[in-house]
Chain A
Amino acid sequence: MNADLTKPFPWERVIQALAYALLVAAFIIGQIAARTDYDGLLKREMPELVLSLSPENRELPVVYKTEEDGKASSDVVVMADGEGYGGPLVVGIRAERTDNGARIKEIIVLRHKETPPFLDRLNKKNFFRQFAGKDVSDNFIAGDDVDVISGASVSSIGFTAAVREAVHLGAVQHLDLAATWQQPSWNIGPNDAILVILFALAFYAAYRRDKAAKYARYLVMAGALVFVGFYANTSISLGSLAGIVMGYIPPLKQHPLWWIMMIGVLGSVIVLGRNIYCQFICPFGVVQNLLQKISGIQLRIKPQVQRQARTMIFSLSWVALMLIFLSAHPALGSYEPFAMMFSLEGLGIQWYILPAAIIGAFFVPNFWCRLFCPVGLYLNETVRLRRSIRSRFVGMRNREEPKEILNDPRDLGA
């Protein structure tokens, strides 16, 4: 057997394979570690109680009977899960029996995947205290008999849903109460309509070349900045994409805005082969364009620097994904400053990145997109992959040769 010694050893491929293998391993380890010891959690939060699992419910939501000072107590503790903005959350609800049923005494957050500032906001605004004293047969509908905290509305809705499911189940199974409460209706409102309109305008602007398309483009950019950025703050981050991989998908009924955004973004990439998000919908991109218009300074980045930047983004996002998968917490690894730019709520390192990104955009067009953005890179890579597959299977090699993509929204948008 003669080995071809003139061929260089494919180090790049080996490193790539190792990187992917480590990501898969981190995902598996994270999922195993994320299995929470619910009994332990509850006992830590309520050490004064002796809890015994009710035989009726051994899967979430589970009900515990309580003992205090060796005597059976009239209190019950129900544990339930829901879907927040970042992923699944688990709450413990302590309730006391009354003559007509039961009342909630306190709500304890046992596990969550929310971005810490969102949970801090809920705590600061006394979101959880409003449940104390509520009857278990109340409706528990966010925006109706439960106040939604602005700036953390998705988390508010998620926690409310978890509490509702838990107390209503307890009311039916343990108190034999009839279900007199209302079921929550679809949470579709003007916000969802605005996002659909924005996507429709973005598609129009992307596929037409007339004057109306130009105005549509301006409208979408203004809408993206005001609505997607400042109002709804629903920019896509690496955490959002990693959340999908981990199966953290909010129910359509509870959070339709998330679904519209993801269908619009991923649909345009997979079905149409265009990265509509980076080109039109990303509010941070609009901010960068505005800064460019003001400064008029367009420092050029050499292509080789941008190629190196591509490797750097892969490395940065690999580290971020490892953190996300190991912790099973999408918010912990995201380093993009999008959310904090528009809500001024962020985690440590993001505060150092934001000013650099803003001031860089003043001098270099699409500074963040071209040098640091993992979302843009992965969306563009998906477009490239789609084109490659299409050329291979549909026989369009001559028409659509996949080109090298340098993570600039203009590369795959037009």
Chain B
Amino acid sequence: MELFQWFCMGILFVLSVAALSYLSVVVKLKWYTLASLALGAFLILFGIGWAGASFLEGIAQSGALALILFCGSGVVLMTLTWRFLVAPELSKQSD
């Protein structure tokens, strides 16, 4: 189960790197936009890794808090970056 978790994490990591690379090609983004998207993705992956390990070890409290604190912060960061930095650039380009 643990191996499967790390395998999934690896796939998610590769997918997130690919998605960010694709985004940087499709739309011209400032360095801090990419940095905050990357940080958001890292936080989400870190939270999933932490929570998965905690749930497997049976420490549900630690897993839940990791999901809320790390994944939650990552999701918030990525969403805000998308709303205020990426989406305006995309609409500018489409105009």
Contact = CB atoms under 8 A, between A and B. Distances in A.
A297 B71 contact: no
A294 B72 CA distance: 12
Contact of B75 (A346, A348, A354, A359): A359
B51 to A, nearest CB: 8
B53 interface: no
A55 to B, nearest CB: 50
Contacts of B76: 294-295, 362
A344 interface: yes
Interface residues of B, number: 16
B69 to A, nearest CB: 10
Interface stretch (B2-10, B18-26, B27-35, B60-68): B60-68
Contact of B63 (A294, A297, A351, A358): A351
A355 B64 contact: yes
B34 to A, nearest CB: 21
Interface in B36-83: 51, 55, 60-61, 63-65, 67-68, 71-72, 75-76, 79-80, 83
A297 B79 contact: yes
Contacts of A297: 79
Contact of B64 (A295, A296, A351, A362): A351
A352 B83 contact: no
B75 A362 contact: yes
Interface string A294-311: 111100000000000000
Interface string A276-304: 00000000000000000011110000000
Contacts of A358: 68, 72
Contacts of A346: 61
Contacts, number: 39
A49 to B, nearest CB: 39
A362 B67 CA distance: 13
A359 B71 contact: yes
A348 B67 CA distance: 15
Contacts of B55: 352
Sort chain A's interface into a size bin: 10 to 19
A212 B63 CA distance: 43
Contact of B79 (A295, A348, A351, A352): A295
A359 B51 CA distance: 14
Given A359-B71, A359-B75, A352 B64 contact: yes
B75 A351 contact: no
Contacts of B67: 355, 359
Contact of A352 (B60, B65, B80): B60
Interface in A152-210: none
Contact of A294 (B51, B64, B79): B79
A296 B61 contact: no
Contacts of A352: 55, 60, 63-64
A346 B61 CA distance: 8
Nearest to B58: A348
Contacts of B61: 344, 346, 351
20 contacts: A294-B79, A294-B80, A295-B76, A295-B79, A296-B83, A344-B65, A352-B55, A352-B60, A352-B63, A354-B64, A354-B68, A355-B51, A355-B64, A355-B67, A355-B71, A358-B68, A359-B71, A359-B75, A362-B72, A362-B79
List 6 A-B pairs, minimum CB-CB distance, nearest first.
A355-B67, A351-B60, A351-B64, A355-B64, A295-B79, A354-B64
Given A348-B60, A351-B63, A351-B64, 19 more contacts: A294-B76, A294-B79, A295-B75, A295-B76, A295-B79, A297-B79, A344-B65, A346-B61, A352-B55, A352-B64, A354-B68, A355-B64, A355-B67, A355-B72, A358-B68, A358-B72, A359-B67, A359-B72, A362-B79
Interface of B: 51, 55, 60-61, 63-65, 67-68, 71-72, 75-76, 79-80, 83
Interface of A: 294-297, 344, 346, 348, 351-352, 354-355, 358-359, 362
